[in-house]
Amino acid sequence: MNAGRRSTLLALIAGAASTACNEVPKGGVPKTPEQPALSRKLLPNEVIPADLDVVVRVDLSLLRKTLGPRFDQELAARYGGDPLLMSALAKGRTVTIGVRAADLEQGDHVVVVEGAEVGLDLEKEGFLPRESRNDKVKAFVRALPSDRDRTDAVVLLDERAIAFVSPVETDAVLRILRDGSDEQRGQPVAEGIVSADIRPRRLPPALERKFPSFGRLLAQVMRIRLLLKVSDDGLRLEGEIISKSDASAHKVRQFLDVFREGASGEGATAILKKMKLEKVGAVVRVTSVLSIADIAGFFTPAEASPQP
């Protein structure tokens, strides 16, 4: 081989070796480029994992004005065993709550409180910092295991927005902070007194066997979005039930008509009695004008209706 060809061959080998060194580290595993660091504030719903199928946003200040101490009593009944979370809820302006409908009694949740200048001493509370790719976000995880319905991780979204995460959801939230938000997560609108984004799931097997028709109907509903806001004529509830097809929406409309006729009009059923329904394609729109007493009825069990 002459000198010219030899030098060309050596140059090719050297170039290939250089490329291989850049792409394949010791051990033969291809290198992956480091993902760029983030630097932005996260919205409250961006840390809600998609497995939490009921996401509700509440304007705490407006609802306290509407319901008075009754609302704080409900919060205490639900989260009173978690002093860290309750201290934030007592001072917060709004709260976004993500839960799993099938496991409500288990207490799995992600709760994001905005407007709470709590001044948490997390290390004193037994939390250890976790590395974050976003310099606007700080994450802490409890060093020792906690009860299933207590706070296991805390995420500081900014100086006045804090996420409280129960143990079952800790890994999912840390994944979100690393890889980005879940596309299918609930995203209630940031307006009104209460807003909600719900993705219905199948009924538990026992209930599905007991109510097969309702189970089949529920399987046709993709999403339910609700908004309660103040209007000139009182409190206005607006909702959308998004079905898989026009035929499915027709069945949902029929079901709600029957449900409305069977409502007693007392307690929480007052909302059902007053609702107006409109079907547009695969969507059933629900509107209802309510009083403060109607909203308070959510917290007061209604008398059972004699109709099924």
**Euclidean distance between CA atoms 35 and 77, whole angstroms:** 43
Helices and strands in the chain: count of H runs, count of E runs: 10, 12
**Euclidean distance between CA atoms 100 and 171, whole angstroms:** 16
Q: For 150-186, give the secondary structure using H, E and C.
A: CCCEEEEEECCEEEEECHHHHHHHHHHHHHCCCCCCC
**Euclidean distance between CA atoms 82 and 89, whole angstroms:** 11
Provide CB contacts within 8 A for 221, sequence distance 6+.
Answer: 200, 241, 242, 243, 244, 248, 252
pLDDT mean values, one per 10 residues, the chain (308 residues): 44 40 44 58 92 95 81 81 88 93 86 81 87 87 90 88 95 92 94 94 86 90 94 86 96 90 73 88 92 64 40
State whether residue 303 is helix, strand or coil.
Answer: coil
Instruction: Say what the pLDDT of residue 268 is.
Output: 66
Instruction: Say what the pLDDT of residue 34 is.
Output: 53
Q: Bridge partners of 226?
A: 196, 239
The pTM of the full predicted model, rounded to 2 decimals, is 0.79
* 32, 132, 257, 258, 270 from 304: Cα distances, Å: 61, 51, 18, 16, 13
